[in-house]
Amino acid sequence: MLEFPSWALPTLYVVGTVLGVLVLAFTTGAVVYIRNDAVGVVEKLWALGGSVEEGFLALGGEAGFRPETLRGGFHFFMPLQYRVHRANLVTVPQGSLAYLFARGGQPLPNAQALARWPTGVGVENARAFVSQGGQRGPQRRILREGVYAINTAQFIVFTESATHAVTLGDASDVRAVETMRQLIEERNGFRPLIIRDHEDAVGVVTVHDGPALDHGEIIAPTVGTHAADGATFHNSFQDPETFLAAGGRRGRQEQVLVEGTYYINRLFATIEVRPKTLVEIGNVGVVVSFTGPRGTDVSGSDHKHGELVAQGQRGVWQTPLHPGKYAINPYAVKVSTVPTTNFVLRWIEGRSEAHGFDDNLAEIKLITKDAFEPVLPLSIVVHIGYDDAPWVVQQFADIKKLVEQTLDPMVSAWFKDAAQSRTLIELVNQRAEVQREALAAMSARFAKYRLNVKEVMIGTPRAAKNDTHIDTIFEQLRARQVAREKVETYESQQVAAAKELELRAAEARAAAQGDLTKSAVSIEVAQNHGRAELARKTQEAEATKVMAEATAMRTRTEGRAEADRVAAIGDANAQAAKAQVDAFGGAEMALSKEVAAMLSGAITQAKVPLVPTVAMGGAEGGHGTLVDALVSLLMAQGGLDTLVKQRGKQPETAA
């Protein structure tokens, strides 16, 4: 039999009693130990004041969950009155987010999606949260990196690795918790949004809480972007309460997020990452805004194709975007890229440019004057000015619609009309002329739509499918051209033969170059002798010429001297005759003497009686004198004229 010392029994009794008390204390909940890396959520099982009548937490000592938590150490309670739920501290890793769901608090209004967190209340102060108007449900507030001693009966905390909550045993509560966690994971809500600079992307934000948009609006306006105004600056949607206080609206936001890291509650706002708007060099971006205030149409009353407005207003912006990258919300505006460099539109089936504006264009089907039906490939070089791009978009929405709905039928109609005034051969031969006419016509017509035509290029008309007539015509033209080429070839060959003869002659001359040189020298010697003889003969001729000129000069001098002598003698004779006339009584007396002398001669020669047998009466019955009869006789024989001529006087003077 085991025997104990007298002093051991009391000691064992005391130790047993203490152990029993401790076991009883821990078993009945009178003593609770909390690790330093955990918290204790106290649940009061019964109270003289009864249970909680309203709300979730027992704020006044009622039976229920107490708002305060227990930290590390021993804690003492009334046995069998309290239950302590131990939970690990909530740890939010670096670069991660955590979400809160409040079981207790004021109910959410019908139009509110997330619960409002009271200003200045910490997440570990459940009593202040409830007493200062905190709302139950998913919270707008999120947790950043750190360790938190949170009452997980009041707040369910969702971290990336775990869900921290005191299980209530209600299946519906478990399903709600899992549904919320699944939603956060679908939106990648446990990680901050990171937009990297090399991605050239923007974040399009859609807010799921706050007042709804006004009727007719599709994009929420930008608010709270000024950092100097702390009451409204929501720092890119990272502070939901400030965003709503600044007048933010529910829905897709006009403001976008650019490169950076953003800690945004994904239950409050979701983000869609879209590429930035890129306007390549050689293009401009015409902006069509779906939001903003309504502005004044600056296009004028003659244009009814839409509103051309100032930048920031709803409609087509008058000023386009220059080449570059822009952080623009693609849901708020549409940017139509318009090339400002020359681009080609090809009316050629199966062939188009990289811009794709002419994907649906094909050759133009024509009918010529002589009833042929060729198809015409065509290319037009077009340019759109920088300032004209918004006008083009205003009228046609985009360039492809402009090409297909306006330019294609207009160009086709013009070329059909032009083809009907020409035969097929003329259409082929007058291609340059048709191009010039088309350029002038297209320039005028395209200018109405603010398009500049730089060049019109026409291809060779070809036959349509199953059309053999045009090929026959072209064959005949080719045969005709071949005949012409043969003629030119024969002429060229003839010229070549002649050149060959020249070549042969040159070769023969080269072979006989020695003889040619000798003969050339002989010719040159003979030429020198000839030139010497010519010079001698020329000198002799010059001498003869000089002698002849001298003889002629002497003859002329002698003649003039002889003429002067004769003239002097004539003048002397004339003066002598004049003196004799004057001596006989003047010219009339001299004339009478000569007349008498001539009369005497006439009478002698004439065989007529001196006295007429018949007497002639005068003018007045008188008788004519003898002198009158003689004069008449003399005139009948022409003697008087002869006399006058001999005297050198006119008949009137002699009479």
pLDDT tens digit sequence for 511-541: 877 777 787 788 888 888 888 888 888 888 8
Together in a domain, 32 and 62: yes
**CATH code at 379?**
3.30.479.30
| Cα–Cα distance for residue pair 10/550, rounded to 1 Å | 195
Boundary (domain end) residue, out of 491, 513, 548 = 548
Boundary (domain end) residue, out of 225, 256, 275 = 275
Together in a domain, 540 and 449: no
For residue 158, tell me if it sits in a domain.
yes
pTM, two decimals, is 0.63
Together in a domain, 215 and 120: no
For residue 654, tell me if it sits in a domain.
no
For residue 560, tell me if it sits in a domain.
no
For residue 640, tell me if it sits in a domain.
no
| Cα–Cα distance for residue pair 499/105, rounded to 1 Å | 117
Q: Are 14 and 31 in contact (CB under 8 A)?
A: no
For residue 253, tell me if it sits in a domain.
yes
- Work out how many domains the chain is built from and give that number: 5
Among 67, 73, 266, residue whose Cα is nearest residue 152: 67
Together in a domain, 350 and 304: no
Together in a domain, 427 and 371: yes
pLDDT score of 81: 82
pLDDT score of 652: 45
Q: Are 364 and 378 in contact (CB under 8 A)?
A: yes
Q: What is the dihedral of CA 70, 72, 78, 82, to 10 degrees?
A: 50
Together in a domain, 53 and 172: yes
Together in a domain, 33 and 174: yes
Together in a domain, 262 and 367: no
Q: Are 427 and 368 in contact (CB under 8 A)?
A: yes
For residue 124, tell me if it sits in a domain.
yes
| Cα–Cα distance for residue pair 540/536, rounded to 1 Å | 6
DSSP 197-259: GGG-EEEEEEE-SSSPPPTT--SBPP----TT-TTT--TTTT-HHHHHHTT--SEEEEEEE-S
For residue 523, tell me if it sits in a domain.
yes
Together in a domain, 107 and 168: yes
Q: Are 57 and 65 in contact (CB under 8 A)?
A: yes
Task: Give the strands of the sheet with 82-88, arranged side by side.
Answer: 64-70, 38-44, 82-88
pLDDT score of 625: 53
For residue 578, tell me if it sits in a domain.
no
Together in a domain, 213 and 96: no
Together in a domain, 48 and 171: yes
Cβ neighbors of 181 (< 8 A, separation 6 or more) are 158, 163
pLDDT score of 596: 66
CA atoms within 13 A on the CB side of 189: 25
Q: Give the structural domain span for 497.
A: 477-548
| Cα–Cα distance for residue pair 498/432, rounded to 1 Å | 38
Tens of pLDDT along 355-385?
888 888 888 898 888 888 888 899 999 999 8
**Which parts of the chain have pLDDT scores under 70?**
1-16, 18-29, 300-306, 577, 580-655
Boundary (domain end) residue, out of 466, 486, 521 = 466
Together in a domain, 326 and 348: no
